């Protein structure tokens, strides 16, 4: 999150389907028993929350990202407030 570099992950959803994702990690949260990573997902072109225990592979890239309108953690929070 602090390095502001894109991350490649192999993620398994609740239906056991695996997808490769390129994400911009924005924020980590702990929900009692589960850690989640809020990120901008390049594949879905939307915010997503990924459970850390469902990330099967993770590779840090050397590809930094700049803040872009509509893709920041503040934008994610605003989206939550207005939905």
Regarding pTM above 0.85, the answer is: yes
Pairing relationship of beta strands 5-12 and 46-51 according to DSSP bridges: unpaired
* Rounded distance between C-alpha atoms, residue 11 and residue 50, angstroms: 8
pLDDT band at 63 (very low <50, low <70, confident <90, very high): very high
Decide: 76 and 25 in contact? Cβ < 8 Å.
no
Average pLDDT over residues 57-72: 96
pLDDT at 48: 97
The pLDDT tens digits of the residues spanning 14-39 come to 999 999 999 999 999 999 999 999 99
Closest CA to 48 of 39, 57, 56: 39
Exposed, middle or buried by CB within 10 Å (0-12, 13-18, 19+), for 39?
Answer: buried
Mean pLDDT of 49-60: 97
**How far is residue 80 CA from its own chain's centroid?**
15
């Amino acid at each position: 999150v602090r390095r502001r570099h894109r991350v490649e992950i192999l993620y398994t959803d609740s239906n056991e389907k695996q997808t490769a994702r390129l994400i911009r990690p924005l924020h980590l949260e702990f929900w009692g028993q589960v850690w989640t990573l809020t990120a901008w997902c390049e594949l879905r072109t939307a915010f997503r929350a990924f459970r850390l225990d469902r990330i099967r592979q993770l590779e840090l890239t050397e590809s930094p990202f700049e803040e872009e309108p509509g893709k920041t953690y503040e934008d994610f929070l605003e989206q939550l407030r207005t939905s």
